[in-house]
Amino acid sequence: MEKYVKEKKGKPKGKKALRFFSTGMRTELFLVMLLGLLIIFLTVKSDVFFTASNLKTLTRQASIYGIIAIGMVVVITSSGIDLSVGSVTGLSGVVAALSMASGASITISILIAAIAGTLIGLVNGILVYDGKVPPFIATMGTMTVIRAVIMLLTNASMISGLPREFRNIAQIEIFNIPFLFVVWLAIIGLAWFMTKKTVFGRNVYALGSNREAARLSGINIRRTTYGVYMFSALVCSIAGILLTARLGNGVPTAGSGYELDAIAAAVVGGASLDGGAGSVIGTVLGSMIMATLRQGGVLLGVNSFILEIIIGSLIVIAVLLDKLRR
């Protein structure tokens, strides 16, 4: 009995120490160091990089990718995937632009766009849970359909003449900080709280870790699946509205290819494509690294194809490291 008590007392300390320096925290620390080294390198190599105007441009660019990536990491953590995020981003922007062009107020137009995007998320959830369609196929299908719908709605043409107040959203600054970045920070806080402090967040991790065990423990799989895809679509709608404001027009091709950047940011940030592992903070750092690489490549005049090779290699290395760690 005495031996058992000693072992019980000693064991938690070791576990706590091991847990503190493993997985999420270690990944995030590595990403902070990598981002810091990347910033130092670009500051030395380019006189323009560490200027106020360039940093503001960088944060505006990273904010759009970052918002979409937050939705993606929640889906990936639940052991799913959402290839429709770029299309939902484009659809929401186009719907908002069409509404304003038809005379609706900015507030009403934004609400209509957000609702339209969120409904796409609900459709994805129904296909995945009720239809038993694999997430990859379900969201690839909605991605293709939505792109076609966008072209039909816009007749493959840009929607111009948007109100100046709406276009100014992308240029507004709060205490010298771009408004787009402030919105991103708000969504980061919301997503972190949701995943770490709510029952829904715990259910998402449980679903991604072991679906059958989650079901047997009483978790509502349908509600969690719907919630995951609807949250992803909602934040993508917000990103689409902000992107349209930044572009100043409703662009039919807006958001094209963003799903790959979102997956890359989530995976580089420590999310596992097998599910059950994902970090909002890690994804934020992954988004910042991706945006900094792209911006730095432009400033240094790096061939765009070489830049894509670097980013693609980074994604593969991140997945390999995740597999080795597991």
* Predicted local confidence at residue 141, as pLDDT: 93
pLDDT band for position 156 (50/70/90)? confident
pLDDT at 4: 41
**Between 17 and 133, whose confidence is greater?**
133
Q: Structure tokens of 308? A: 């894509």
CA distance linking residue 62 with residue 26, whole number of Å: 23
SS (H, E, C) 162-194: CCHHHHHHHCCEECCEEHHHHHHHHHHHHHHHH
Q: Which segment of 16-25, 189-198, 241-250 scores lowest on mean pLDDT? A: 16-25
Give the separation between CA 81 and CA 184, rounded to whole angstroms.
21
In angstroms, the CA 67 to CA 187 distance is 7
Q: What is the reported pLDDT for 207?
A: 87
Please list, in sequence order, all residues whose beta carbon lies within 8 angstroms of the beta carbon of residue 255, skipping any fewer than 6 positions away.
85, 86, 87, 88, 89, 90, 93, 236, 239, 240, 243
The CATH number for 184's domain is: 1.10.3470
The model's pLDDT over 52-67, given as tens digits with 9 standing for 90+, comes to 888 888 888 889 989 9
- Give the CB-side neighbour count of residue 22, counting CA atoms within 13 A: 10
146: pLDDT strictly greater than 70: yes
- Cβ within 8 Å of residue 229, ≥6 positions away: 75, 80, 82, 121, 122, 124, 125, 128
Burial of 291 (0-12, 13-18, 19+ CB in 10 A): buried
Query: Residue 277: pLDDT band by 50, 70, 90 thresholds?
Result: confident
Structural tokens at position 175: 């205490």
Structural domains of the chain, count: 1
Q: Is the pLDDT of residue 288 over 70?
A: yes
Residue at 233: amino acid letter: A
Average of per-residue pLDDT across 231-235: 94
Mean pLDDT computed over 300-305:
81
Give the rounded distance of the alpha carbon of 276 from its chain centre.
17
Report the share of the chain in percent with pLDDT over 90: 34
pLDDT reported for residue 17: 39
247 within some domain: yes
| b/e code 26-41 from CB counts within 10 Å (16+ = b) | ebbeebeebbeeebee
**Mean pLDDT on 213-235:** 89
- The answer as to whether 18 is a domain residue is no
Whether 29 is in a domain gets the answer no
**Of 253, 246, 244, which is closest to residue 112 (Cα–Cα)?**
244
Q: ∠150-284-31 over CA atoms, to 5°?
A: 135
C-alpha span between 203 and 11 (Å, rounded): 28
User: Does residue 37 fall inside a structural domain?
Assistant: no
Helix, strand, coil % over all residues of the chain, rounded to 5:
80, 0, 20
Query: Do the domain assignments include residue 139?
Result: yes
Q: Is residue 12 part of a domain?
A: no
Q: What pLDDT sits at residue 34? A: 84
| Confidence band for 24, pLDDT divided at 50, 70 and 90 | low
Burial class (CB in 10 A: 0-12, 13-18, 19+), 221: middle
Over residues 163-212, the pLDDT tens digits come to 889 888 888 888 888 899 999 999 999 999 998 888 988 888 888 888 87
| Portion of the chain with pLDDT greater than 70, in percent | 91
Residue 45 lies in a domain: no
Contact 204, 71 (CB under 8 A): no
Q: Which domain holds residue 229?
A: 53-325
Classify residue 14: in a domain, yes or no.
Answer: no
Residue 98 has pLDDT above 60, yes or no: yes
